[in-house]
Amino acid sequence: MSAAKSITVNDQLRRSEAATIADLVRELGLKPEKVAVEHNGVIAPRSTLEDVPLGDGDVLEIVHFVGGG
């Protein structure tokens, strides 16, 4: 396992040892199949979440569907 990385998730700084984006999503208590992720300003296709490595300094936006009109 790699050392803890410093990342930004939805504007919040945090430390994580997750190896991939999917690992991070699970670490946050969320299901990868219910969210969408922007990784350093680029959409991370859902099919690649298990494969994209998380790097030190990465910036992520994690969103999902909520009620709206």
Partner 1 sequence: MTEMPTITTDSAPDDSWEVAGQRFTSRLIVGTGKYKDFAQNAAAVEASGAQIVTVAVRRVNISDPSQPVLMDYIDPKKITYLPNTAGCFTADEAIRTLRLAREAGGWDLVKLEVLGEARTLYPDMRETLKATEVLANEGFKPMVYCVDDPIAAKQLEEAGAVAVMPLGAPIGSGLGIQNKVTIRLIVEGAGVPVLVDAGVGTASEAAEAMELGCDGVLMNTAIAEAQDPIRMARAMKHAVLAGRDAYLAGRMKTRKYADPSSPLAGLI
Question: What is the binding site for partner 1 (CB under 8 A)?
Answer: 9-10, 12, 28-30, 34-38, 43-46, 61-69
For residues 37 and 60, what is the distance between their CA atoms, to the nearest angstrom?
A: 7
Residue 57 vs 69, nearer CB to partner 1? 69
Pick between residue 57 and residue 67 the one whose CB is nearest to partner 1: 67
- The 10 Å Cβ neighbour count of residue 41 is 8
Residue tagged 């040892």 (tokens)? 17
Rounded to a whole number of angstroms, the minimum distance from the CB of residue 34 to partner 1 is 6
User: Positive or negative, the Cα torsion across 62, 23, 40, 1?
Assistant: positive
Of 1 and 13, CB closest to partner 1: 13
